[in-house]
């Protein structure tokens, strides 16, 4: 009797499953963020070889559901090949990615938005590069940007297996923006856009943005808007972010808000978002997101894409340049507040600029260096990946009083200890005290000397730095200036400075040229 009961129950459940499946369909969004020209697989700590478009292609060809590809920006500027082609190779690879009958457009990304580093080449060159993009360039807040033969759209609607997916783009400002600019979106602006989107009656609404909600160092631009605008918050199902280079597989933004997903960086992996659609009502039933690491041992590279990458690769970067005897960290070690790699670059900048104009000192920002430099043979690829962006050297004027304030504001205290966000050329030395009880101004500069001379408040000092520092972008606000002579040297980037510094090392072979940390304490924390 009991056996008959379970048989009937099994048949009933099977019928319900089949019945439910008849009124459900699944579509997929693949999402990348902050590719930065990292086209190739490379060695990482967690696995032998990971990342790149060839591995991504194999993964996409395995997909059996209808899918689209979306990117949240910073797709172009970064690695050597991307920089040399003004991002053209990025577009070529994105146009052919996901060649499959299940890709709603047959091949390529459906859309991308503009990140802060996509403007590194300037708006004219970025426009020419994007003119070859086969998908849509989406941005609801970008103005004054021209793409030959293509319009920037605030949103687009894509139909996957009969399901409408609306995608709204949102861009972030960068230091390379010249003719183009970002407008501040008011509640009225957002209301008008959402009314247009809702008029299309989409089953899913996606916010594709170069914006992150998970990194306190880079506060979200959109999160306050989502919290304060029910129309945007309640109707947006999925927020695909970028910019912070972090992973968020599934981060719900409140009970009524969208699901936030950010897909890391450097094409080490991709997010796969599965959308379960009720076929009877054409409404979204559920969203499931997962981050898939692009591991070669699990996903063999697509041979056709690999052949294209072999043609793109600058093989000269395989060349060994020097030997690193001990770890050179991105951030300072215990007992030191200045990072060694940034010190090396700041000193090289000082020497290079001094041959062109008279300056007092140079500085370089720690966040411009993307990772620690591990011991061993240093190749050209290692060098360009340490400093991947086309960040140009510039000079500017600053008063001694402003300089002291900027140095104090650049001191941080966190789980790494005390450190400065900037290192300086070797002719700069200073000491400071840290008072945690003073929450407003915890750092007090006790001694600041340039070339052994005490810095005077009223004197004007000539400084060399990366161009976005005096403009006040990223970590630059303490040094932002609006007056005085500013000059940019577009023939020299931060990556070029590091190459010069390594090239100047003594020795006849890479094994003999040792890249080591500068000696002496540059920044001292006093008890």
Residue 374's pLDDT is what? 82
- 304-337 pLDDT per residue, tens: 999 999 999 999 888 999 999 988 888 887 767 7
Q: Return the closest-CA partner of residue 139 out of 128, 150, 124, 125.
A: 150
Residue 89's pLDDT is what? 96
CATH superfamily, domain 315-525, is 5'-Nucleotidase, C-terminal domain (3.90.780.10)
Tell me the range of 320-324, 416-420, 518-522 where mean pLDDT is highest.
320-324
- Of 3.60.21.10, 1.20.120.160, 1.10.10.10, 3.20.20.210, the CATH number of 22-312 is 3.60.21.10
pLDDT surpassing 70 at residue 47: no
**Intrachain domains 22-312 and 315-525 with the same fold:** no
Question: Which tokens go with 362?
Answer: 């140079």
Question: Which tokens go with 160?
Answer: 């996957």
Contact 27, 67 (CB under 8 A): yes
SS3 28: strand
Residue 246's pLDDT is what? 87
pLDDT surpassing 90 at residue 261: yes
Residue 335's pLDDT is what? 67
Residue 15's pLDDT is what? 47
Question: Using CA atoms, how far apart are residues 422 and 424, in angstroms rounded to an integer?
Answer: 7
pTM of structure: 0.78
Question: Using CA atoms, how far apart are residues 445 and 439, in angstroms rounded to an integer?
Answer: 16
Residue 180's pLDDT is what? 82
Tell me the range of 128-137, 273-282, 377-386 where mean pLDDT is highest.
128-137
Contact 220, 211 (CB under 8 A): yes
Query: What residues does each domain of the chain span?
Result: 22-312, 315-525
- 448-486 pLDDT per residue, tens: 999 999 999 999 999 999 999 999 988 899 999 988 888
- 117-175 pLDDT per residue, tens: 888 888 889 999 999 999 999 999 999 999 999 999 999 999 999 999 999 999 988 76
Question: Using CA atoms, how far apart are residues 126 and 478, in angstroms rounded to an integer?
Answer: 29
In the 8-state DSSP scheme, what is residue 461? E
Confidence tier at 18 by pLDDT (50, 70, 90): very low
Average pLDDT across the chain, whole number: 89
Residue 466's pLDDT is what? 94
Confidence tier at 358 by pLDDT (50, 70, 90): very high
Residue 13's pLDDT is what? 47
- 76-112 pLDDT per residue, tens: 888 889 988 999 999 999 999 999 999 999 999 999 9
């Amino acid at each position: 009797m009991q056996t008959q009961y379970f048989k009937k129950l099994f048949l009933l459940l099977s019928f319900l499953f089949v019945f439910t499946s008849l009124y459900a369909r699944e579509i997929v969004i693949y999402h990348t963020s902050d590719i930065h020209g990292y086209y190739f697989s490379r060695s990482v700590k967690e696995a032998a070889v990971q990342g790149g478009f060839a591995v991504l292609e194999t993964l996409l060809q395995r997909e059996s559901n209808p899918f689209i590809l979306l990117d949240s920006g910073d797709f172009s500027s970064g690695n050597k090949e991307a920089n040399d082609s003004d991002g053209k190779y990025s577009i070529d690879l994105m146009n052919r990615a996901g060649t499959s009958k299940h890709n709603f457009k047959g091949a390529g990304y459906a859309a991308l938005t503009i990140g802060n580093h996509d403007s590194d080449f300037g708006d004219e060159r970025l426009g020419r590069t994007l003119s070859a993009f086969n998908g849509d360039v989406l941005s609801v807040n970008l103005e004054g940007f021209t793409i030959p033969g293509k319009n920037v759209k605030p949103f687009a609607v894509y139909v996957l297996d009969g399901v409408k997916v609306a995608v709204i783009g949102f861009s972030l400002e960068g230091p390379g923006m010249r003719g183009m600019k970002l407008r501040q979106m008011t509640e009225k602006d957002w209301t008008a856009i959402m009314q247009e989107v809702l008029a299309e009656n989409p089953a899913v609404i996606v916010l594709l943005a170069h914006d992150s909600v998970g990194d306190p160092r880079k506060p979200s631009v959109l999160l306050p808007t989502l919290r304060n605008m029910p129309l945007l918050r309640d109707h947006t199902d999925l927020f695909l972010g970028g910019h912070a280079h972090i992973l968020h597989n599934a981060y719900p933004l409140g009970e009524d808000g969208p699901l936030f997903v950010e897909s890391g960086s450097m094409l080490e992996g991709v997010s796969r978002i599965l959308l379960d659609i009720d076929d009877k009502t054409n409404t979204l039933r559920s969203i499931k997101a997962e981050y898939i690491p692009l591991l070669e041992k699990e996903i063999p590279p697509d041979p056709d894409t690999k052949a294209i990458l072999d043609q793109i690769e600058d093989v000269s970067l395989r060349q060994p340049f020097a030997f690193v005897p001990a770890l050179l960290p991105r951030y300072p070690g215990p007992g030191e507040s200045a990072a060694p790699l940034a010190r090396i670059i700041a000193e090289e900048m000082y020497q290079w600029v001094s041959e062109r104009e008279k300056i007092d000192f140079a500085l370089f920002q720690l966040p411009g260096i993307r990772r620690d430099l591990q011991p061993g043979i240093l190749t050209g690829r290692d060098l360009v990946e340490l400093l991947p962006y086309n960040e140009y050297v510039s000079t500017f004027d600053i008063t001694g009083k402003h300089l002291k304030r900027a140095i104090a504001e650049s001191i941080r205290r966190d789980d790494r200890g005390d450190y400065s966000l900037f290192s300086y050329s070797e002719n700069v030395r200073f000491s400071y005290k840290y008072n945690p009880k003073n929450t407003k101004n915890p750092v007090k500069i006790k001694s600041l000397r340039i070339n052994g001379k005490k810095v005077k408040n009223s004197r004007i000092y000539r400084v060399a730095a990366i161009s976005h520092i005096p403009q006040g972008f990223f970590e630059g606000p303490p040094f932002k200036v609006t007056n005085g002579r500013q000059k940019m040297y577009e023939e020299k980037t931060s990556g070029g400075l590091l190459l010069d510094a390594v090239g100047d090392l003594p020795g006849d072979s890479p094994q003999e040229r040792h890249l080591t940390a500068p000696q002496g304490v540059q920044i001292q924390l006093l008890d």
